[in-house]
Amino acid sequence: MKSLPIGLIVITVFAVSCGSGRRGQEKKNGGAKVTFTERTADQAVDVMVDGSLFTTFRWPDNVCKPVLYPVCAPSGTEITRGFPINPRTGERVDHPHQVGMWLTYGNVNGYDFWGNGSQGLGTKNENGGVIKHLKTQKMTGGVGEGSMVTEESWTDPSGQELLKENTEYHFIAKDSIYLIDRITILTAREAEVRMPDTKEGMFGIRVARQLELPSEGDITLYNAEGEPETVKGMTNEGISGNYRSSEGITGEAVWSTRARWMDLYGNIGNEKISLVICDHPKNPNYPTYWHARGYGLFSANPLGVKDFTQEKEELNFSIPAGGTVTFRYRVIISSGKHLNDEEINAIAGEFSGRY
């Protein structure tokens, strides 16, 4: 058994987790109620649907950015990886900076916001940037949908602010489908902000082990004693994920391709799950490139052109002093069935017309 740096095996237990879903519950007043529970001492806001956890917006001191974690399907099944916040037996032990659902970038004026914390919880890389949650401006619950507006600050290692962030979240519950819409406005402060090409970005989710793509070879997983252990010749039992893009490309071949949406579908136990990220026509460089990997990283990155085209093309993106850029993404979570192209196109089309 191989020991890992102490930061990789810190386990933090939070009060709320997935597990009690809405399936079979009677809906009242014409639809599910989306509500918010603020837990200031835990630096967290729980998003609830009919009293069951949908997700938690959290900004812990030992993570270098705000994240949504865990993220649950309508059934209550957790679709995000637990490691490193709350490791589960059988999960991969890698990339501890990939936590839940997030939006960052790997090169902002030379600072790495994507990979900061890659040595484990509570660590910071020498050139790592930090996204600080400043305040939650508004939380509005409702029948079928709730919204939340937050304010963040992208700071370099010296604490200087490079970008101001305002993000609007919409949490939508429609029977066996949950939706998360994220609209993020980044504003450059007193100087131009450069965001040159890198594959390390931008809107990402790290998914549960069962939704990874089958693979071969040795793998380091958490064992029943809560310790990392290298398993040789790991089988793919229970690993059922597969990618399918709006352009018809499947499997790991989707990496570096462009598409309007990407579907990651598979089974967690006997439950069919579809997890879809939708790009938006108003986003920079639409349709986005996909930094989607078989090991469970599912990410849309519109700015990493050079890496994704094998240096045939290049995009050196920047925001002028005082200027803004907006990124819009929708996540679809389907429980009990795998969505087909017609269903995804309809939901993606509604998203495109809404914002």
The amino acid at 193: V
**Spatial separation of the C-alpha atoms in residues 39 and 15, rounded to whole Å:** 10
Query: What pLDDT is stored for residue 354 in this prediction?
Result: 96
Q: What is the residue-averaged pLDDT of the chain?
A: 92
Q: Is residue 187 part of a domain?
A: yes
Give the pLDDT of residue 228.
84
User: Where residue 31 falls among pLDDT bands split at 50, 70, 90?
Assistant: confident
**Any domain includes 255:** yes
Tell me the pLDDT tens digit for each residue of 269-298: 999 999 999 999 999 999 999 999 999 999
Tens-place pLDDT, residues 209-247: 999 999 888 888 878 877 888 988 778 899 999 999 999
The structural domain count of the chain equals: 1
Instruction: Compute the CA torsion angle 35, 100, 173, 43 (nearest 10 deg).
Output: 10
Answer whether residue 267 is part of any domain: yes
Residue 334 predicted with pLDDT over 90? yes
Interval 106-155: pLDDT, tens: 999 999 999 999 999 999 999 999 999 999 999 999 999 999 999 999 99
Average pLDDT over residues 330-338: 98
Taking CA 180 as the corner, what is the angle to CA 351 and CA 214, rounded to the nearest 5 degrees? 105
Asked, for residue 234, whether it belongs to a domain, the answer is: yes
* The pLDDT of residue 54 is above 90: yes
What is the per-residue pLDDT across 62-105, written as a single tens digit (0 to 9) for each?
A: 999 999 999 999 999 999 999 999 999 999 999 999 999 999 99
- Would you say residue 150 lies in a domain? yes
Please give the Cα distance from 147 to 238 (Å, whole number): 35
Position 35 in a domain: yes
- Is 272 exposed, middle or buried, given 0-12, 13-18 or 19+ CB atoms closer than 10 A? middle
Flag whether 1 is in a domain.
Answer: no
CB-CB neighbours of 17 under 10 Å? 16
Is 269 within the bounds of a domain? yes
Identify which of 47, 69, 72 has the alpha carbon closest to the alpha carbon of residue 58: 69
Note down the domain range covering 311: 6-354
Give the sign of the dihedral formed by CA 93, CA 95, CA 96, CA 102: negative
Mean local confidence (pLDDT), 341-354:
98
Q: At CA 151, angle to CA 36 and CA 70, rounded to 5?
A: 45
Report the pLDDT value the prediction gives residue 22, as an integer from 0 to 100.
60
